[in-house]
Structure 1
Amino acid sequence: MMIRWMIYLGLLIFAAYESVVFEDAAVTMFFVAALLLFVLLLLLLLIQRQMLKVSMKIPVPAAEKNKGVQLLFRLENRLPFLIGSIHAEIICLSHFTGKKEKYAVSFDNGRKQGTAVTTVCQISGDNCGKMHVFAGRIRIWDIFHLFCLTKKVNLTGEITILPQIYDTAAAISEGVRHFAGETEEDEPEAAGHDASQTYQIRPYRPGDRLQTVHWKLTARNDELYVREAGEPICLAVGIFIDFYAASKAEKQHMAALIEAALSVSNALLEQNCRHFIVWYDLEGRHLCKQRISKIEDIYEVTGYLMSAACYDENMDLKVMYKEAFPYGLYAADITLRLSGDILTADEPVGHFDEKDMETSMRKCMLRV
């Protein structure tokens, strides 16, 4: 820009000198035209700033970690003449780490009159969690790049970078597998010994106890029918995610903590061990509990954890859980902390490292 201004001013000075010294009409007209060009370019630039319209669209607001996300920017040039270059700076702010990343977007292909073009911006998703995307202003240049004006815009959006689940080993004891605690639901695909719930009603088979005979149905059909009891679903293991940050550095481990917790949850689920996840919601000021009995439950709790926030006050989540859910018994507990510690019954069993999550989670062995 500076070089163009030097060339322009040099031509003006040369034309002024030639016009005064030699009194040449052609040179004088050239000098006047150069002065008028200054005013005309500035006037057209002001008109451009008023008439241009820029919008942003996020086609898929969720993406896997370490995979790019596309942002679509649409520029509408409603002017009947060619315009200069247009540039925008896009800022991506991570909800967990507070890290800012800047991306430059150029609309040079939308300079033609009466056109509407779409420009694609590819951004990275290296950290899981919510990412806020926004742009507050765009820069507009004239066709000679002599003048630049800014235009305020309000381009905002949100992208969720999904956490990655790593292989984690887990061994479930017989006591945990057959834990008989409080439950609100029965297994829909297996019979059991919960007399208060009915799994199915079927014809009598040799060996069935007389106490299970459904007498009303038997009387109506002149054939023995029995009521088969259901099998209660017990949540034997509790995963406690502690978002307490003892230092500013630990706040940067939010994404890694969530990935470690979901990896542990997935490891238990692969062993057919139903469980629950507990964390403290700082915004709502209450304890949250999510039962995990199928893979869809992990996807659901992921959405909640993406909005979690760390806190500065140390809390005993297990004590708070007993107060909030006095009948929510469990056989074993697993606690994960921002420091990277993974504990069962308050004993360290592993450590996750955000610099190498895959290796650190593979080395972890959970025994409950």
Structure 2
Amino acid sequence: MIRRTVGYAAAVLVTGYLFLMYDTPALSAALVLEILYPVVSFACLHNMSARLTAGIGKVPAMGEKNQKIRVKLWVNNTSRIWNGKYELRVKIGGRNSGQMTVKKMSGMLEPGRKKALPFYFTSEYCGSMEVALDGMKIFDFFGLFYRTIPLADKAYVGIMPKAGLMPLEITRRTREFLADADEYSVEKSGDDPSEIYQIREYRPWDSVHDIHWKLTAKEDALMVKEYSFPLGCVVLVWMEYPKKGQSSEGFSKMLESAASLCMTLAEEKCIHMAAWFEEKNMRIVKWKVSSEETVHGLLWRMLEMEPYTDDNMRKACYEDAFRGEHFSSIVKIDGQGGITVDGEKQELLQL
């Protein structure tokens, strides 16, 4: 705006100089118009700033990486006289990246019209993408002067990772690991005496401690109790997401690693828990994963993850959240998508 004002002032000075050198009616009229134009322009822009509005309309909840995503913007001109010449300023970027790409959209809107503007963008990373409409310029009749109207309309689009399967071996130790749970398997028995899976006839290898004496007396045959197998989380998948070194690319890789690992474990019927530190609420977020549906729910929740800065608080919350809990394996996924099992990096994951 400063450059435009300086340029216009220079044009007025040139016209004034020519008027002094050549006193003609045409130069007199031009000089008067050039002097009055900024006043008229200011009045017009002031009027239009209250009548030209813009915002973000329909936004898809989610999209895919490297796929075109359509966002609907709108501009409304409530004036009955003036055409509205505008330029929208749109910012796009990751929620936690701090880096935003700026794009501009300009046009003209007739009096009393509302116009929908399709806006397209793509993202090369997974995560929560922010679409922000943070300003609009409105121009006068000839586009010489403008006024900026601040806007603060935002929307978010979740760019979901593809949850493909990965090479993974689940050992017998993990398969038979007994974890505390409120649910029990209806498909196989276990060793948890707090819940009975079924009662059946005695077999030679059964322990006498498992005999159901009351039912034995009633049935006039030895009956034994089979205990239930608890459906607890036997594997912990920990998301390590510190502020230091975090980036949109790193977060995208972490999401993709979590998606593949959790989907593979779910396909293998290995119930597990995904968890991470949520600094703003000073707590550990826990998410039980037992099916494909819960994997997608986990990924959607992870889009809201924010990096932490206080490592001491993270350690304290971790110890408090998992005190008394035991897991067959602890898998850590770092902020760059790297995976370690019980502190060791493996070429073929074995849990």
Task: State TM-score, norm by structure 2.
Answer: 0.78
Partner of 2:143: 145
Partner of 2:343: 346
Partner of 2:120: 122
Mark the CA change 1:19 to 1:200 in structure 2 (over 3 Å): closer, same or farther: farther
Structure 2 Cα separation of the partners of residues 342 and 157 of structure 1: 32
Number of paired residues? 336
Structure 1 Cα separation of the partners of residues 180 and 308 of structure 2: 31
Mark the CA change 1:320 to 1:160 in structure 2 (over 3 Å): closer, same or farther: same
Counterpart amino acid of residue 347 in structure 1: E
Partner of 2:173: 175
Partner of 1:277: 274
**1:94·1:129 contact (CA, 8 Å) conserved in 2?**
yes
Of 232, 235, 247, the match for 1:234:
232
**1:129·1:162 contact (CA, 8 Å) conserved in 2?**
yes
Partner of 1:335: 332
**1:244·1:315 contact (CA, 8 Å) conserved in 2?**
no
Give the CA deviation at 1:162: 2.1
Mark the CA change 1:170 to 1:45 in structure 2 (over 3 Å): closer, same or farther: same
Give the CA deviation at 1:175: 2.1
Of 12, 16, 23, the match for 1:20:
23
Structure 1 Cα separation of the partners of residues 212 and 128 of structure 2: 56
Cα RMSD after superposing both structures: 4.0
Structure 1 segment 1-368 matched on structure 2, within 5 A: 9=12, 16=19, 20-21=23-24, 32=32, 35-108=35-108, 111-187=109-185, 190-193=187-190, 196-197=194-195, 211=212, 230-244=228-242, 247-248=244-245, 253-314=250-311, 321=318, 323-338=320-335, 340-350=337-347, 365-368=348-351
Give the CA deviation at 1:325: 3.1
Mark the CA change 1:262 to 1:147 in structure 2 (over 3 Å): closer, same or farther: same
Structure 2 Cα separation of the partners of residues 240 and 320 of structure 1: 13
Structure 1: unaligned runs, 5 residues or longer: 220-225, 351-364
Structure 2 Cα separation of the partners of residues 264 and 29 of structure 1: 77
Give the CA deviation at 1:37: 4.6
**1:335·1:342 contact (CA, 8 Å) conserved in 2?**
yes
Give the CA deviation at 1:11: 9.7
Counterpart amino acid of residue 275 in structure 1: H
Task: State TM-score, norm by structure 1.
Answer: 0.75
Mark the CA change 1:115 to 1:323 in structure 2 (over 3 Å): closer, same or farther: closer
Over residues 6-43 of structure 1, what are the superposed CA-to-partner deviations in whole Å (9 max), with x where a residue is unaligned? 9975995599469834xx5x775566556555543332
**1:243·1:338 contact (CA, 8 Å) conserved in 2?**
yes
Query: Once the two structures are aligned, what percentage of the paired residues are identical?
Result: 18
**1:238·1:277 contact (CA, 8 Å) conserved in 2?**
yes
Structure 2 Cα separation of the partners of residues 32 and 349 of structure 1: 81
Give the CA deviation at 1:231: 4.1
Over residues 295-336 of structure 1, what are the superposed CA-to-partner deviations in whole Å (9 max), with x where a residue is unaligned? 122222223322223234556989965643344222122122
Give the CA deviation at 1:140: 0.8
**2:73·2:117 contact (CA, 8 Å) conserved in 1?**
yes
Counterpart amino acid of residue 349 in structure 2: L
Mark the CA change 1:278 to 1:92 in structure 2 (over 3 Å): closer, same or farther: same
Mark the CA change 1:144 to 1:305 in structure 2 (over 3 Å): closer, same or farther: same
